[in-house]
Structure 1
């Protein structure tokens, strides 16, 4: 009987480990196999190509949390405002080149980073925004060591949006003036539950709880630590919540829930776009919303 129980326990552990690797290993496609194909507004692709070709400094830091070597690319516009851009799940910094082009056009310096376990940066496991939020603190320190007088804007998309929201709970330097989140989710548990129901018509609560436990053992954090609502309750930095109503990767309703959290200054923007593609199809209004937010609170 004891042997049977041990075998069953081992099977459970192996199954949970397999699911953990599926949703957290480098390159995971647990939230979708590829980015949605969307035709950009006229001129965006050309402007982005111009931005990509601009000279960039390669920056490096070592994560104080994991010890991983992390990489970023700095575009210097000789401005006193720098936008630190955090990409999403299963991609790298180039996924936000179009958005980086927007901030470059507005005259800001741009620091695009590869999260741990993404792009050039080291690491085995994605952190669902939690591990990445700790690394953002290190990037802020690096930025201020290079440019101590810069005003800093945090911008994140999808998991990157969760990252900057989770970062907001910490005691941030006064240089961090604004946060912009585009298409962020409420927590790792809830976005995984959403996809379980959407794809397999199950809630998967026990499964997700087991994966969270495996994450605690192997990656050093549980999914409780990815709750953006709790983080926002501690936030003091003005924040803009941006989301497309046709987003089927992170449901639009999550934006409405997140934007009601906390007592900080906030603004919202919405489009008819799909996941992280509002700027692609509504570029004039998206840019206007960003510009107005910067003019109001920066």
Structure 2
């Protein structure tokens, strides 16, 4: 009897610890992945272009997540000149759509309609827990359908940064025929890989066993296992052209992941590499960054 009680007590303690870790890793506003990147001096003119973009009228859109019925919001900016081509921007971990305003103006000034969305548990959208790209990828499919209903024959480009990059890659197998191109900036190979990397580098913990335990709580509380967010598996089934964009001084998502992503699957691909830190390549190398984007997008015209 005492043994049974001790075992139950141990299970309660382990469960409590795993739940604490789960909340730390996935709750709204978590800083697990270092969501506050260092300030980087931007190339001349970028701040002004971004300020001008923010003054342009934006239409608020809303959808309901089919995954968990949370209310999700996005902001649509019509292009300068009428077009049916739209870029959907997907932000990263523990930030909101405003984190990509500088990238949004890039696509706006390239002549696209721009949709900036707030993921689950971010900005105005509801939700308690982030999905490391898995839940967000399911919601992204609904956002694509939303734009398709507005422009049935229009081309859609997906741009994602960090967790947003994982999101667009994870969604790719289910968007063949709906999306013309994907641009991922600073994306990671899988949820397990990125959490293991940070457990080792930030906390000096070899965390695979721990992460598997937390993954169980993620399934119970957020609705998915970490193993379901594997970008390499998704890319192996992808047929959409992808531009991979990474900075060699990225220590939030290790640069080594870029080569694993770039060499995975069978589809048209290009890559761009800078000396930038996490999601900051455009800030410091805007001319070459834009040239790479424009060159890639010519393939879908």
Q: Indicate the residue corresponding to 2:42 in structure 1.
A: 40
User: In the aligned structure 2, how far is the partner of 1:200 from the partner of 1:26?
Assistant: 21
Unpaired runs of 5+ in structure 2?
none
Counterpart among 125, 128, 146 of residue 142 in structure 1 = 146
Q: Indicate the residue corresponding to 1:183 in structure 2.
A: 186
Number of residue pairs matched?
A: 297
Q: Which stretch has the larger CA shift, 28-37 or 130-139?
A: 28-37
Counterpart among 93, 100, 108 of residue 96 in structure 1 = 100
Say which SS state the counterpart of residue 23 (structure 2) adopts: helix
Counterpart among 2, 14, 18 of residue 16 in structure 1 = 18
Say which SS state the counterpart of residue 60 (structure 1) adopts: strand
Q: Indicate the residue corresponding to 2:287 in structure 1.
A: 284
Q: Indicate the residue corresponding to 1:240 in structure 2.
A: 243
The correspondence of residues 67-78 of structure 1 with structure 2, limited to 5 A, is: 67-77=69-79, 78=82
Asked whether the equivalents of residues 149 and 175 of structure 1 are also in contact (C-alpha less than 8 Å), the reply is: no
Structure 1 position 125, deviation (Å): 0.5
Unpaired runs of 5+ in structure 1?
none
Counterpart among 232, 255, 260 of residue 257 in structure 1 = 260
Deviations 1:73-112 (A, max 9, x none): 0000122210011000000000000000100110100000
User: In the aligned structure 2, how far is the partner of 1:273 from the partner of 1:80?
Assistant: 33
User: In the aligned structure 2, how far is the partner of 1:123 from the partner of 1:81?
Assistant: 30
Whether 1:296 aligns to 2:299 is yes
RMSD: 0.9
Q: Indicate the residue corresponding to 2:112 in structure 1.
A: 108
User: In the aligned structure 1, how far is the partner of 2:35 from the partner of 2:75?
Assistant: 26
Asked whether the equivalents of residues 176 and 239 of structure 2 are also in contact (C-alpha less than 8 Å), the reply is: no
Deviations 1:53-79 (A, max 9, x none): 110000000011110110000000122
Q: After TM superposition, which residue ranges in structure 1, 4 or more long, deviate above 6 angstroms? A: none
Structure 1 position 33, deviation (Å): 5.0
Structure 1 position 175, deviation (Å): 3.7
Q: TM-score, normalised by structure 2?
A: 0.97
